[in-house]
Chains A and B, each alone.
Chain A
Amino acid sequence: AQSVTQLGSHVSVSEGALVLLRCNYSSSVPPYLFWYVQYPNQGLQLLLKYTSAATLVKGINGFEAEFKKSETSFHLTKPSAHMSDAAEYFCAVGYGNNRLAFGKGNQVVVIP
């Protein structure tokens, strides 16, 4: 069974500082890994997706994530936080496209 761990429900970051959100997964087979972002009163929007083509994945809005098989991690980063990055971020693992297992999410607060 797949599962996802996201530590630290709330993450505060200063505007212009590095954003780092950690995600560790467990999967018995090579996984599909995703990061989604959710703004208030909106659905989830895909930030990026890993499917084994490349370990460093670039997504929208300047975000990227690196797949590290040895660490079973897929951490999300952005070099410089912007006020518009304030949202909730979810890491998810999927296999065969028949379901996604999500982490509990990180609520990102950007401090001016």
Chain B
Amino acid sequence: DTGVSQDPRHKITKRGQNVTFRCDPISEHNRLYWYRQTLGQGPEFLTYFQNEAQLEKSRLLSDRFSAERPKGSFSTLEIQRTEQGDSAMYLCASSLEGPSMPGKRDIQYFGAGTRLSVL
């Protein structure tokens, strides 16, 4: 179990630039989630995937945000035309949904996050 990995760990960009983050979930996990955490707040849900299908998006996810999970494995989160208000920690989590691992369902395992700073 190598855990959830996120890349990069830190990203500094100028306002108006596009950025892309990557998340590699735990290998057998079929669900993948993106959250955003701003200073002094708990993580806020952005979106989630069941395999390659994006099943829910939060209203926080504006048109400038897009997430993909093309083969049901890793996922990318892209922010276009970044704004200073996008500065936050972006967290990825994965979980296993199904009867194959009783006792371990419904637990979301989090990566260390990507910290975005928009100047």
- Residues of A whose CB lies within 8 Å of any CB of B are 4, 6, 9, 32, 34, 36, 41-46, 49, 51, 90, 92, 94, 97-105
Contacts and interface: CB of A to CB of B under 8 A. Distances in A.
A51 B103 CA distance: 10
A49 B106 CA distance: 9
A102 B43 contact: yes
Contacts of B44: 102
B45 A101 contact: yes
Given A49-B107, A51-B106, A105-B42, A99 B97 contact: no
Contacts of B105: 97
Interface residues on B, range: 20 to 34
Contacts, number: 60
Nearest to A90: B42
A98 B48 contact: yes
A103 B97 contact: no
Contact of A102 (B42, B48, B56, B106): B42
Contacts of B95: 97
